[in-house]
Amino acid sequence: MLNKAMVIGNLGADPEIRFTQEGTPVATFNVATTERWKGKDGQQQEATEWHRIVAWRRLAEICGEYLHKGSKVYIEGKIQTRKWQDQNGNDKYTTEIVAREMKMLDSKGDVGGGGAGGPGEPPVPAAPSGGGFGGGGTGEDVPF
């Protein structure tokens, strides 16, 4: 069996670093991938997909230290769906990519930069309103 996901995109916000009760670091952040094509009418079209990323242990620390909003990254990992309950006891599901590998793709001059990519690239799309990504909650109600 194979469960492998690879995405190249831009961070929508700085990674959030938390620690489990055992003290294990975990980083969560969202990566936007944008597909562009010409429609039948010849007009440029685009669609942005948001991917929730989770990194653990040393990789979480590295992500927290070096990645920032707008950073271009390559993420490789596995797709995982978690079931959890919100404050009202309702079942919720969150699908995320558990990162095994991360590569920073920004040029040295772009590291720590803001929301734009390299020359000729559009700025990072704004995060969807409502706070949630990937059908989950805001992250405040995730049980870790």
Instruction: Give whole-number Cα distances, 94 to 87, 91, 135, in Å.
Output: 15, 10, 6
Residue 129 maps to a domain: no
**Residue 125 CB coordination number (10 Å):** 17
Can you give the CATH number for the domain in which 87 is found?
Answer: 2.40.50.140
Q: Does residue 116 form part of some domain?
A: no
In a domain, 39, yes or no: yes
What rounded mean pLDDT belongs to the chain? 82
Range of the domain at 50: 5-110
Q: What is the pLDDT of residues 52-63, one digit of tens each?
A: 999 999 999 999
Q: What is the pLDDT of residues 15-57, one digit of tens each?
A: 999 999 999 999 999 999 999 999 999 999 999 999 999 999 9
For 95-132, the pLDDT digits (tens) are: 999 999 999 998 765 554 443 333 334 444 444 433 33
pTM for the model: 0.71
Per-residue confidence (pLDDT) for residue 19, from 0 to 100: 96
Whether 135 is in a domain gets the answer no
Residue 28 lies in a domain: yes
Q: How many domains does the chain have?
A: 1
Under DSSP, the state recorded for 13 is S
Q: Which residue has the tokens 């597909």?
A: 35
pLDDT reported for residue 109: 53
Task: Give a yes or no: residue 57 inside a domain.
Answer: yes
**Residue 83 in domain:** yes
